Structures are given as structure tokens and as C-alpha cells.
Amino acid sequence: MLGKTAKISLCLALAASMLCSGLAGHASLAAAKAKLKSKKMQLTVGQTKKIAIRNKNKKAAYSFSSSAKAKASVSKNGTVTAKKPGKVKITVKEQYKKKVRSLGKVTVTIKAKSTDSAKKATPSPAVQASVTQPPAASAAPVTAAPSENPTVTYKPIEEYVLDTDVSVPAGFMNVNPDVAGTVETITYDSTVIKENEVVQRKAKVILPKDYDPEKKYPVLYMQHGIFGNEDSLTGDNVQNVIWNAIANGDAEEMIAVFPNACANEYGGAVDSDGNPIGGDTSRGFNLTHYAAYNNFLNDLEQCLMPYINENYPTLTGRENTAICGFSMGGRVSLHIGFTLQSKFRYIGAFCPAPGIFKHNDNGVNEEGLFMPQETFTLQDEYMNDTLVLIAAGTNDGVVKEFPQSYHDALEANGVPHIFYKTKGGDSENGSGGHDGTVYKHGLYNFLRRIFHLHD
Ligand code: FER
């Protein structure tokens, strides 16, 4: 992975977030009482947005009531739907054991429909979110009942896509033993690396705190950047972002898999003749090396996913399966997600690398995996039923404007998605914005939006 500065950036980001929030450290975060993240919400008629609660107590129940249901209704999980222009107050209460406590009121200001109001809802100066909305006649909640899964109804993708709030809670990257689950290493047989030969490959499996093999969990596959392997993401403490999101009540309990996305016999970088290059990364920008990442589609579909589904208590089917990644892993995730649309309902790409379209970056001429206008799109049946999130650095010196070009194509093709830019940590090597600060921010926002059940 090129994001060598990630750890330095992490420290800076942590220091900054602690200063901003006035928190002394992670312990106080765990003990803090639940409170409303914001007491104001601006919506346009037709828009929906979830009321965010910080430091949710997982054992408590939260209830929401609207002062004027004709203007704005609110669902059991706190999603507000704007119906008519005006002001509405939503009262939020927490019930824990027999105690009921008011968290206060959120004042919702509803504006009449205007053409591009969603784009103007910029959450903070550092973060510019842009949202391509689904067409008005959007999908109803999806009921998934593959034979081995319980019958559950999922939130329509529209609700996530219209949620332009991409802020993250303080301490979302912290290492916090109180919320930690476990990390396992698996070895599985791959039949797609060498002809007529089985090659053993490794992956990390991230289990949630209180993992119970009697339960069933949705699965997130997350891919590392170029020159990485199955240890890169755990080495960068990405599992803590997942555990924090679950502990904050922002993400469902899930199993995450961090594979080795370089699907060749070495599980590592090669030169153009296919020979390993060790640490000589300057020789790693070539088509043979990139082809190993393209081959991960076969490895994942034919070998790793079946292994995970056989050996872990997983919920299967696209409603329960997400894919995301950083940089080269973001490219891999877009490749796989847009190719295997019947298998993944959630696709996240954080600082995605070149190669989705024809390019000539780093002196390498690559044909590209998709054609921007013709093939980088969703099939009709998945168009309004797939969550796509692309997060980019405001000044990414490594993948430059490639993430923006993917956003532009999706927008031109009318594919509903979320795209936003956020600032990276400082960096001395010109890769500012191509680092852990940005990709973990993207991951947290992705985690907030995947697998949520409709209530
Ligand atoms: C490239 C520049 C960067 C490229 C890939 C990367 C496929 C990947 C960077 C990373 O994973 O950090 O031209 O071509």
C-alpha cells in the first residue's frame, strides 16, 4: 500500500479530533451519554435523513415523534421524511431499563423542492458531498428471503443515498479494547491462480465483539492498496474503525474479511514478466501486476466467498454482502461490484486507483475495465437497489483525479451514488489525501450505510 503516511496522519487526526471535541481520550468516549449529534436538520420536500445520535447505548431503545406528521414523518429508527415546507420538531427519547430520558428536539426546516438542493447541503468546509439521486419512482424496501436466511426487510437504497451527512464521530479511528472483537487468519484453497493446481492463500477475518457462532452475520470484503497483502489493513488498525462503528450503533454487527487482493502465486508485486520484485516498488507499475488484482474477482467469487460461507455463520445474498477497498483495493471493489451486481448490494471505493477506464498513468497504458459511458453502470434491476459510495482526498497526489472521473461517469449515467472529498493528513511525500485519514473516513460512512434493516 502506498499509504505509508497513514500512521502519522492517524496521530494528527486523533490529536485534532480530541482538541475539537474536548475529549480527553477514548475511555471517556465509551462512558459518555447518548446525545443528539445535531439539533438542526435541513431537508427538501421528498428528502429523507436519519437523526444521528452520538454514543448510543446499544441496550437502550430510542423513540422519535414528530410535532407535525403531515409536514414530516419519522420512522422508528429516526429517519425523517420531509413532506411539506415548514418547520417541524422531532422529539427524541432514550429508554434504558425502565428509565426514559429525553435527548431533546431536532428542529427540521423543510424547503420546497428546488433542482439541486441536495448538492448544496455541504456538511462541513472540509467535506464536500455530492449525491446522485435515484429517480423519483424509487424502489420500495427490499424483502430478502433466500432459503437459508431469515426473512428480513431492508431499507431502500434511496434513504442512504439521500443522506448527505458524511460527518464522522470523534475517535472513530481509536483503538479501544472495550469495543474490540477478534482477528483470525484463514488459509483457503484457490483454484484460479495456476492452471490445474491449488494455491493456498491467506485472509484475515474480523469478528465483532460478542461474536456468537449461533447467530448469522452479513459480510464485508475489504481490499488493501497496491503493494499490500492480507496484513495491510489490520496493520493499519482498520478493524478498529469497524468495531467503533458497531459500538456507536452506526453499523450492524458484521464479519469483515481482509483478503490478499493480489491474486497471483506470490500474493505480491511482480514485474512485467511475472517475477516477484520484493520491495522494489518502482517496478510494480505494470500490466502483469495489475492483472493479478483483476484476477481477484475470480478468486473471491469462486474460492474465498464459498470458503467464508462454509466456515462462518454468514447471511448470504446481495443484501448481506458488501465490498469496498482503498486505492488499488477501491479499483478492485468497483471492478467486482459492478461486474457481479447480483452478488453485492453495497460498493465502496476510497481513493480508487486508475484502471476502471482506459488511462496512461505512471507511463502504463491500460485498456481499462469498463467503458465510462457504456459499461460503468448498473443493470436496470439493480439501478435503484445498490449503494455506491466513493470517497476521495481533496489533494490526492497518488490517484489524483481518477476518483472524480469515476464519480463524473456515474453521474452522467444516472447511477445513484454518494461522492465526497475530505482532507487527508499532512504528508511529506506528496501523497496528501491518499492516506488512512481519508480512507477510514470513507469506510466509516460506508459502514453506516450497509446492511441496515428496515424497521
Ligand atoms: C496508478 C497509480 C496508483 C495505479 C495504481 C495506483 C493501476 C495504486 C495506488 C495504491 O494502491 O495506493 O497508476 O495504476
Chain segment 150-179, per-residue pLDDT in tens: 677 788 898 888 888 999 999 999 999 999
Q: What's the CA-to-centroid distance between 332 and ligand 1, angstroms?
A: 11
Give me the pLDDT at residue 327, please.
98
Q: What's the CA-to-centroid distance between 224 and ligand 1, angstroms?
A: 11
Which protein residues are within 6 Å of ligand 1, measured from CB?
A: 1-2, 225-226, 285, 290, 327-328, 353-355, 361-362, 398-399
DSSP letter (8 states) at residue 178: G
Q: What's the CA-to-centroid distance between 353 and ligand 1, angstroms?
A: 5
Q: Confidence class of residue 441 from pLDDT cuts 50, 70 and 90?
A: very high
Of the ranges 66-75, 174-183, 386-395, which one carries the lowest mean pLDDT score?
A: 66-75
Segment 106-120 shows an average pLDDT of: 61
- Is the per-residue pLDDT at 413 higher than 70? yes
For residue range 270-296, list pLDDT tens digits in order: 999 999 999 999 999 999 999 999 999
Question: Largest Cα–Cα distance of the chain, in whole Å?
Answer: 68
Give me the pLDDT at residue 104, please.
85
Give me the pLDDT at residue 139, please.
55
For residue range 114-150, list pLDDT tens digits in order: 543 333 333 343 566 788 877 665 556 666 555 567 6
| Strand 255-259 relative to strand 197-207, pairing | antiparallel
Segment 197-222 shows an average pLDDT of: 98
Give me the pLDDT at residue 221, please.
99
Residue whose Cα lies nearest atom 14 of ligand 1: it is 354
Q: What's the CA-to-centroid distance between 11 and ligand 1, angstroms?
A: 25
Give me the pLDDT at residue 109, please.
82
The pLDDT mean for the chain works out to 85
For residue 407, how many C-alpha atoms fall within 13 Å in the half-sphere facing its CB? 22
> Is 43:190 a contact under the CB 8 Å cutoff?
no
Whole-model pTM: value is 0.74
Alpha helix stretches (DSSP H) within 99-167: 117-120, 157-161
Which comes out higher in pLDDT, residue 196 or 75?
A: 196
- Is the per-residue pLDDT at 251 higher than 80? yes
- Is the per-residue pLDDT at 24 higher than 70? no
Segment 319-335 shows an average pLDDT of: 98
Q: Distance (Å, rounded) from C-alpha 453 to C-alpha 144?
A: 11
Centre a 10 Å sphere on the Cβ of residue 430 and count the other Cβ atoms it contains: 11
Which comes out higher in pLDDT, residue 83 or 123?
A: 83
Cell readout for 403 is 476518483
Taking the CA of residue 290 as reference, the ligand 1 atom at the shortest distance is: 7
Give me the pLDDT at residue 181, please.
98
Give me the pLDDT at residue 378, please.
98
Segment 328-342 shows an average pLDDT of: 98
State percent of the chain over pLDDT 90. Answer: 60
Give me the pLDDT at residue 412, please.
97
Residue whose Cα lies nearest atom 6 of ligand 1: it is 353
Give me the pLDDT at residue 22, please.
24
Give me the pLDDT at residue 362, please.
96
Mutation to probe ligand 1, out of 358, 361, 439 (largest number of atoms < 8 A from CB): 361
Give me the pLDDT at residue 23, please.
23
Phi, psi of 326 (to 5 degrees): -105, 130
State percent of the chain over pLDDT 70. Answer: 84
Q: Confidence class of residue 19 from pLDDT cuts 50, 70 and 90?
A: very low
Q: Distance (Å, rounded) from C-alpha 51 to C-alpha 78?
A: 5
Q: What's the CA-to-centroid distance between 325 and ligand 1, angstroms?
A: 13
Strands (E), 242-351: 255-259, 321-326, 346-350
Give me the pLDDT at residue 64, please.
83
